[in-house]
């Protein structure tokens, strides 16, 4: 613990123990606890207690106080738990009686304050720390705390029940903890304490699983699911034998509203040694989950079964049948084709299912669940076994047609956007299936109808576009695709780009950008795009009323130019890029919104990275406007542009790009190029920016520049300092002020500074009063002492005010405040 904090701690704890003290901010205690926990971990908790007697004093003062604040009491209890996790500290605290005071919840202040859920929660949290060693476990057992912990498992607060479950699971698995294994095996007292505890907990789980109260059964299942992964024999056998019966009853229960926790428990069990054991009947239980009368529950179970690693193929196949059944049933009823899922396993189910599928209120959740499960299967690259993937895709499409009102048989799903979203997600994911290219045309047709449908909601449109992109990427480029792009897609995109809803316009523009990026090297696409009439719409969209849309339009324009090449395809004289550049420069200078201006700079950076500097692009102008921008992100992107320019000038590679040839441009040449674009003034100006990320980026670039230029003293010609600074008066002023401050501080600790940075003192002599008229690059960069600045800037902007010392000072100063700090918020 650092000296300052160590000195403040007694005062802080004294203030906190004062019952009249009002906590200044509800986060203070948690932050203080975070720090104390770090201290207990970094240092030895025992010496923490020994060296800071204020700690046990504080805990006992809170516990003997007549009316402590519940939050302070909870803090003290958690803190005790953190310390007591160390055996030595536990003994020390036990000697002073603190342990009993804190954890004996049936007497004293804990009893009085027990009604407060934060106190109960803290108590469980604290005990979690205490039972990390055998002495703690024995204390827990001998004090009869197990009973209270078990009661907490049925608490009305979710946080308390969760705390109780964690504690009880930890106790059950205590013998498996590396630090405790030996004591449990070797120490008879410890062994017997643990045995007693486990007997009680196992019985409790078994009894609770048989309880009438659903909430209690749910908690028992959660506890089981938490315990099983870490549980070892022989306790594992004992536990499973005790819960098997009640678990079977739970599975047979109708309606079974606990499908998910039961499945989690079975999943956990399947990962233990029990799985291969026939009398444990885990697979039977898992299979029994598929016999529920409620198709929703069955699909939930089936979806979990598919993901089980250990599960047999036959059971997975059966689960798959259940997942697909509603989907295939509703689509086959519409297409009059028999469903391939007709196995005995799902027959019983069918009547209920058919009934549910005819009612919208039951049909929508059922199909959504089925589709979501299908989506998850495809994302895990699941093979549909004997069921052809095309059939599944066909069923999803059929459902989509139903939602679009294009199916003759079913009308109750028309316009259901929830289902449409699920269908589109599933279709997107199914695009990776084998044989997808064979049905690409059909899928794209269905998606085209979604895009065309005037009633499609924005989210449906967005997902349709995402699906189109996925399916376009399936297989190779073909004339069929050209037809789709030119006759269907581009016309509908042109309409959607002008949609009344900004969400639709934006999604469409984002899609156009992605599409153009995908087809950058495709000459057919380039021609199609050029002739499509989309480009004028993109230019118009760059003036949209909504800034999100303007930004997306700018990105789309940028990508279009990259794809088409600077001159366009059809009319090389059209000078597309020139038009775009002019428009973008206007936006950068005039647009009132940051999003659009950020997009402009990003486009320029991307151009510069992947092609030569576009003709007509005034890089100096962009850098100047960007670095003066009010928006911090525009400044950040401008620095990225500057970085791209530096890389280009120095012949350096960009990340993820092959490195350039062995020939590197001449340093003087590069320097000249950078000077022309006045990169240095931009970097210097941003070095002193109010927004720390901007200043940090500028500093990193200056450091890189110094290194990459390989500058050493005398290697550069001296140039006029004002020329370097490019007449940027504010930058010059800032550098001067900074140098002056630096010179002053250096004069007070000149020798120290000299020792630390003997090679970087060149600038120390440059005081503001004698600002040199000639200064080399090297001199300028060196006199800025960039390393020190980089170090400062790399820290979080609030690192001083969020330090533990600052936190403690805040608590102390709040205690001195006489005024009542009335609660306030926005």
The answer to whether residue 593 forms part of the interface with other proteins (CB under 8 A) is yes
Is residue 353 within 8 A of residue 403, CB to CB? The reply is no
- Binders of other proteins among 32-71, rule CB under 8 A? none
What does the per-residue mask of binding to other proteins show for 696-725, with x meaning CB under 8 A?
A: ------------------------------
Q: Which is nearer to other proteins, 64 or 745 (CB)?
A: 745
Is residue 63 within 8 A of residue 98, CB to CB? The reply is yes
- Residues with Cβ < 8 Å from 351, sequence gap 6 or more? none
What does the per-residue mask of binding to other proteins show for 453-492, with x meaning CB under 8 A?
A: -----xx--x------------------------------
| Helix (H) or strand (E) segment spanning residue 136 | helix 134-142
Minimum CB–partner distance for residue 542 and other proteins (Å):
17
Q: Which is nearer to other proteins, 448 or 548 (CB)?
A: 548
* Alpha helices in 210-294, H assignment, sequence order: 214-227, 235-252, 259-270, 282-288
Q: Which of 417, 316, 322, 428 is nearest to 369 (CA)?
A: 322
The answer to whether residue 328 forms part of the interface with other proteins (CB under 8 A) is no
Give the pairing type, strands 774-775 and 719-720.
antiparallel
At CA 221, angle to CA 262 and CA 158, rounded to 5?
120
Which tokens hold the place of 606?
């991307």
The answer to whether residue 748 forms part of the interface with other proteins (CB under 8 A) is no
Q: Which is nearer to other proteins, 112 or 810 (CB)?
A: 810
Q: Which stretch binds other proteins (CB under 8 A): 488-496, 534-542, 637-645, 689-697?
A: 689-697
- Binders of other proteins among 607-646, rule CB under 8 A? 630-633
Q: Which of 633, 629, 631 is nearest to 693 (CA)?
A: 633
Find the length of the chain.
826
Half-sphere CA count of 136, side-chain side, radius 13 A: 28
Minimum CB–partner distance for residue 524 and other proteins (Å):
30
Centroid of chain to Cα 665: 42
What does the per-residue mask of binding to other proteins show for 797-816, with x meaning CB under 8 A?
A: xxxxxx--xxx-xx--xx-x
| Distance between start and end Cα atoms, the chain | 36
Cα separation, 646 vs 623, whole angstroms: 12
- Binders of other proteins among 423-442, rule CB under 8 A? 425
Count of residues touching other proteins (by CB under 8 A): 76
At CA 358, angle to CA 355 and CA 362, rounded to 5?
80
Cα separation, 565 vs 632, whole angstroms: 31
Place of tokens 């407060």: 116
Minimum CB–partner distance for residue 257 and other proteins (Å):
12
The answer to whether residue 185 forms part of the interface with other proteins (CB under 8 A) is no
Q: Please, is 775 exposed, middle or buried when counting C-beta atoms within 10 Å of its C-beta (0-12, 13-18, 19+)? A: buried
The answer to whether residue 411 forms part of the interface with other proteins (CB under 8 A) is no
SS3 string, 392-437, reads HHHHHHHHHHHHHCCCCCCCCCCCCHHHHHHHHHHHHHHCCCCCHH
At CA 603, angle to CA 597 and CA 608, rounded to 5?
130
Minimum CB–partner distance for residue 691 and other proteins (Å):
6
Q: Which of 566, 730, 776, 804 binds other proteins (CB under 8 A)?
A: 730
Q: Which is nearer to other proteins, 20 or 361 (CB)?
A: 361
Cα separation, 41 vs 473, whole angstroms: 52
SS3 string, 674-691, reads HHHCCHHHHHHHHHCCCC
Cα separation, 279 vs 283, whole angstroms: 10
Beta strands in 629-764 (DSSP E): 719-720
Q: Which of 14, 21, 108, 159 binds other proteins (CB under 8 A)?
A: 159
Minimum CB–partner distance for residue 148 and other proteins (Å):
19
Q: Which is nearer to other proteins, 117 or 772 (CB)?
A: 117
Minimum CB–partner distance for residue 589 and other proteins (Å):
15
- Binders of other proteins among 504-523, rule CB under 8 A? 506-507
Minimum CB–partner distance for residue 743 and other proteins (Å):
16
Sign of the CA dihedral running 537, 538, 542, 548: positive
The answer to whether residue 158 forms part of the interface with other proteins (CB under 8 A) is yes
Q: Which of 322, 525, 548, 607 binds other proteins (CB under 8 A)?
A: 548
Q: Which is nearer to other proteins, 590 or 770 (CB)?
A: 590
Q: Which is nearer to other proteins, 312 or 813 (CB)?
A: 813
The answer to whether residue 249 forms part of the interface with other proteins (CB under 8 A) is no
Is residue 431 within 8 A of residue 477, CB to CB? The reply is no
The answer to whether residue 794 forms part of the interface with other proteins (CB under 8 A) is yes
Q: Which one-letter DSSP state was computed for residue 653?
A: P
The answer to whether residue 825 forms part of the interface with other proteins (CB under 8 A) is yes
Minimum CB–partner distance for residue 74 and other proteins (Å):
12
Cα separation, 370 vs 526, whole angstroms: 40
Q: Which is nearer to other proteins, 26 or 336 (CB)?
A: 26
Minimum CB–partner distance for residue 98 and other proteins (Å):
27
Minimum CB–partner distance for residue 805 and other proteins (Å):
8
- Binders of other proteins among 259-298, rule CB under 8 A? 260-261, 264
- Binders of other proteins among 117-146, rule CB under 8 A? 117-118
| Helix (H) or strand (E) segment spanning residue 3 | helix 3-17
Q: Which is nearer to other proteins, 215 or 610 (CB)?
A: 215
At CA 586, angle to CA 583 and CA 592, rounded to 5?
120
Minimum CB–partner distance for residue 158 and other proteins (Å):
4
Q: Which is nearer to other proteins, 447 or 564 (CB)?
A: 447
Backbone angles phi, psi at 17, to 5 degrees: -75, -15
- Binders of other proteins among 16-35, rule CB under 8 A? 24-28, 30-31
Minimum CB–partner distance for residue 75 and other proteins (Å):
14
Q: Which stretch binds other proteins (CB under 8 A): 105-113, 194-202, 364-372, 768-776?
A: 364-372
Q: Which of 336, 663, 690, 770 binds other proteins (CB under 8 A)?
A: 690
Q: Which of 110, 168, 165, 95 is nearest to 137 (CA)?
A: 168
Q: Which stretch binds other proteins (CB under 8 A): 381-389, 535-543, 606-614, 685-693?
A: 685-693
Minimum CB–partner distance for residue 280 and other proteins (Å):
24
Cα separation, 60 vs 102, whole angstroms: 8
Helix (H, G, I), strand (E, B) or coil at 719: strand
Minimum CB–partner distance for residue 443 and other proteins (Å):
21
Q: Which is nearer to other proteins, 34 or 142 (CB)?
A: 34
Q: Which is nearer to other proteins, 720 or 733 (CB)?
A: 733
Which tokens hold the place of 345?
């396993």
Q: Which is nearer to other proteins, 157 or 574 (CB)?
A: 157
Q: Which of 20, 278, 361, 773 binds other proteins (CB under 8 A)?
A: 361
- Residues forming a β-bridge with 719: 775
Minimum CB–partner distance for residue 297 and other proteins (Å):
13
The answer to whether residue 372 forms part of the interface with other proteins (CB under 8 A) is yes
Q: Which is nearer to other proteins, 27 or 434 (CB)?
A: 27
């Amino acid at each position: 613990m650092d000296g300052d904090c160590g000195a403040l701690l007694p005062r802080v704890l004294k203030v906190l123990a004062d019952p009249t003290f009002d906590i200044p901010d509800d986060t203070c205690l948690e932050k203080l606890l975070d720090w104390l926990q770090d201290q207990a971990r970094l240092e030895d908790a025992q010496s923490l207690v020994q060296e800071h007697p204020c700690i046990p004093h504080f805990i006992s003062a809170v516990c003997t106080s007549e009316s402590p604040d519940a939050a302070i009491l909870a803090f003290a209890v958690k803190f005790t738990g953190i310390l007591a996790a160390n055996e030595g500290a536990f003994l020390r605290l036990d000697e002073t009686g603190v342990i009993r005071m804190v954890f004996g919840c049936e007497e004293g202040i804990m009893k009085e304050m027990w009604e407060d859920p934060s106190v109960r929660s803290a108590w469980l949290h604290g005990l979690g720390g205490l039972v990390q060693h055998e002495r703690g476990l024995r204390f827990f057992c001998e004090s009869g705390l197990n009973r209270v912990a078990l009661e907490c498992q049925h608490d009305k607060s979710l946080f308390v029940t969760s705390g109780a479950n964690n504690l009880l699971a930890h106790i059950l698995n205590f013998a498996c903890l590396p630090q405790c294994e030996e004591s449990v095996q070797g120490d008879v007292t410890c062994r017997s304490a643990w045995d007693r505890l486990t007997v009680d907990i196992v019985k409790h789980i078994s009894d609770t699983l048989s309880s009438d109260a659903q909430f209690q059964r749910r908690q028992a299942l959660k506890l089981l699911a938490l315990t099983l992964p870490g549980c070892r024999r022989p306790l594992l056998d004992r536990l499973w034998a005790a819960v098997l019966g009640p678990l079977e009853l739970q599975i047979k229960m109708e309606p079974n509203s606990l499908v998910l926790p039961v499945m989690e428990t079975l999943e956990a069990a399947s990962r233990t040694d029990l799985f291969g054991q026939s009398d444990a009947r885990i697979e039977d239980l898992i299979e029994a989950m598929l016999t529920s009368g409620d198709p929703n529950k069955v699909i939930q179970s089936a979806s979990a079964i598919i993901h089980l690693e250990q599960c047999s193929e036959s059971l997975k196949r059966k689960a798959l049948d259940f997942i697909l059944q509603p989907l295939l049933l509703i689509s086959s009823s519409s297409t009059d084709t028999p469903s391939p899922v007709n196995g005995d396993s799902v027959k019983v189910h069918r009547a209920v299912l058919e009934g549910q599928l005819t009612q919208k209120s039951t049909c929508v959740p059922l199909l959504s669940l089925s589709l979501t499960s299908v989506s998850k299967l495809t994302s895990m690259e699941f093979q549909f076994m004997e069921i052809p993937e095309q059939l599944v895709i066909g069923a999803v499409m059929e459902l989509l047609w139903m939602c679009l009102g294009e199916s003759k048989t079913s009308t109750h799903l028309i316009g259901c956007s929830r289902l449409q979203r699920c269908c589109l997600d599933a279709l997107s994911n199914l695009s990776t299936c084998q044989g997808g290219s064979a049905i690409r045309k059909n899928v794209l047709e269905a998606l085209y109808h979604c895009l065309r449908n005037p009633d499609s909601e924005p989210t449906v449109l967005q997902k349709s576009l995402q699906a189109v992109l996925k399916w376009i990427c399936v297989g190779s480029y073909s004339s069929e695709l050209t037809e789709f792009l030119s006759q269907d897609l581009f016309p509908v995109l042109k309409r959607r780009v002008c949609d009344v809803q900004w969400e639709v316009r934006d999604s469409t523009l984002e899609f156009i950008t992605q599409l153009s990026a995908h087809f950058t090297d495709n000459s057919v696409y380039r021609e199609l795009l050029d002739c499509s009439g989309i480009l004028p719409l993109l230019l118009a969209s760059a003036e949209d009323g909504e800034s999100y849309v303007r930004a997306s339009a700018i990105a789309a324009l940028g990508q279009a130019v990259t794809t088409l090449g600077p001159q366009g395809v059809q009319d090389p004289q059209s000078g597309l890029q020139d038009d775009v550049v002019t428009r973008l420069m206007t936006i950068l200078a005039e647009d009132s919104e940051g999003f659009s201006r950020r997009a402009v700079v990003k486009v320029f950076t991307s151009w510069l990275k992947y092609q030569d500097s576009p003709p007509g692009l005034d890089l100096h102008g962009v850098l100047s406007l960007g670095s003066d921008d009010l928006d911090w992100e525009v400044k950040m992107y401008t620095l990225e542009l500057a970085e791209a320019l530096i890389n280009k000038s120095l012949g350096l590679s960009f990340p993820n790009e092959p490195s350039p040839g062995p020939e590197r441009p001449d340093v003087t040449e590069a320097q000249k190029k950078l000077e022309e674009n006045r990169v240095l003034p931009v970097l210097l100006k941003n070095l002193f920016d109010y927004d720390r990320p901007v200043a940090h980026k500028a500093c990193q670039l200056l450091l890189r520049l110094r290194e990459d230029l390989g500058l050493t003293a005398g290697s550069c010609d001296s140039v006029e300092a004002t020329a370097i600074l490019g007449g940027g008066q504010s930058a010059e002023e800032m550098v001067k002020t900074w140098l002056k401050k630096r010179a002053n501080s250096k004069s007070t600790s000149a020798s120290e500074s000299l020792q630390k940075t003997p090679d970087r003192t060149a600038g120390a002599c440059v005081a503001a009063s004698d600002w040199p008229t000639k200064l080399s690059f090297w001199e300028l960069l060196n006199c800025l002492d960039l390393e020190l600045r980089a170090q400062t800037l790399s820290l979080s902007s609030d690192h001083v005010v969020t330090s533990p010392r600052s936190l403690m000072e805040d608590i102390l100063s709040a205690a001195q405040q006489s005024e009542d700090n009335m609660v306030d918020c926005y």
